């Protein structure tokens, strides 16, 4: 950890222009952010995959089939792209064999309780235009990421106020929120980001 | 929760009204035991 005048020190804002965390504030921040790291890292990995999908040119003539699988309802699906890898499932861009309609399908791990009840595959988005279908999925997944992130921050907020009530908890929570926002935010103008950050702060006041 | 799903998928199902969330003591979204049991029960042939 960085030190300034012999005290633990965590700078904030562009080039350290923000209100830095100093001494016990910095130690408390580090302790809570370390406990969030595993979940946050998982979200960052998903976010990176979603960002990459936005850069792909989807409208390609004659895209190659990567693999084929049979769903429990007897439909044969051709897989054209692996969109997202999740810890216990994967999300695929598919078309039914001999059909022109596109689908985003989630395939769950074999034998998991949910798959036993509902089947291994589930259609998430369907449509005729491949780019629209993928971008609809990306929008849904980004929305889910924001939802997960808010829940993570709500937990962190509770921990900070419970364990570090005397170490400027409001400032620590604000720094943790900035840290989480960075992980799941991208591609937005500065004005948009600031306005959304204010909305998030308002909604977080109520606890998720 | 014993559905065998990753947290991101559980969150997406909650958003799509596939699962109804409750909060545990730490404020984390979880799915009720009854709902898990119902979802995990194998289909009757």
Rounded Cα–Cα distance for residues A156 and A109 (Å): 30
| Residues on B contacting A at a C-beta cutoff of 8 Å | 2-9, 11-12, 14-15, 23, 26-29, 36, 39-43
pLDDT of residue B43: 55
pLDDT of residue A204: 34
pLDDT of residue A55 exceeding 90? yes
Interface test with B, best of A49, A85, A110, A114 (most B CBs within 10 A): A114
pLDDT of residue A152 exceeding 50? yes
Domain spans of chain B? 7-40
The DSSP annotation for A101-129 comes to -EEEEEEEPTT-HHHHHH-SEEEEEEES-
pLDDT of residue A62: 84
Say yes or no for a CB contact (<8 Å) between B15 and A144.
Answer: yes
pLDDT in tens, B1-25: 678 889 899 999 888 888 887 777 7
Please provide the size of chain A in residues.
208
A43, A140, A208: residue with CB nearest B27: A208
Q: Which residue of A has its CA nearest to B6?
A: A88
pLDDT top residue among B31 and A132: A132
Look at A5-14, A74-83, A143-152, A184-193 and tell me which has the smallest mean pLDDT: A184-193
Report H helices in chain A: 24-55, 113-118, 130-163, 169-184, 190-204
Long-range contacts of A26-31 (CB under 8 A, 24+ apart): A26/A1, A27/A167, A28/A160, A28/A163, A28/A164, A28/A167, A28/A169, A28/A172, A29/A172, A29/A175, A29/A176, A30/A1, A31/A163
Domain spans of chain A? 64-128
Q: State the pTM of this model.
A: 0.81
Q: What is the ipTM of this complex?
A: 0.77
């Amino acid at each position: 950890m960085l030190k300034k005048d012999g005290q633990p020190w965590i700078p904030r804002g562009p080039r350290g222009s923000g209100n830095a965390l100093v001494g016990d504030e910095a130690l408390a921040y580090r302790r809570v952010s370390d406990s969030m790291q595993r979940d946050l890292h998982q979200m960052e990995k998903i976010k990176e995959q979603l960002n990459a999908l936005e850069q792909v040119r989807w409208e390609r003539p004659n895209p190659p089939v990567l693999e084929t699988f049979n769903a429990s309802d007897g439909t044969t699906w051709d897989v054209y792209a692996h969109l997202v890898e999740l810890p216990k499932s994967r999300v695929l861009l598919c078309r039914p064999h001999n059909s022109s309609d596109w689908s985003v399908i989630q395939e769950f791990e074999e034998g998991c309780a949910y798959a036993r009840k509902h089947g291994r595959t589930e259609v998430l988005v369907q449509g005729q235009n491949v780019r629209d279908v993928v971008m609809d999925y990306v929008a849904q997944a980004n929305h889910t990421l924001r939802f997960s992130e808010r829940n993570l921050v709500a937990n962190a907020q509770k921990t900070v106020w419970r364990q570090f009530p005397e170490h400027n908890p409001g400032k620590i929570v604000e720094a943790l929120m900035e840290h989480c926002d960075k992980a799941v935010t991208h591609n937005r103008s500065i004005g948009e980001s600031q306005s959304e950050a204010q909305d998030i702060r308002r909604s977080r006041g109520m606890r998720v | 929760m014993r559905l065998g799903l990753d947290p991101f998928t559980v969150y997406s199902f909650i958003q799509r009204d596939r699962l109804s969330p409750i909060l545990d003591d730490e404020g984390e979204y979880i799915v009720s035991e009854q709902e898990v049991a119902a979802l995990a029960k194998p289909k009757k042939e």
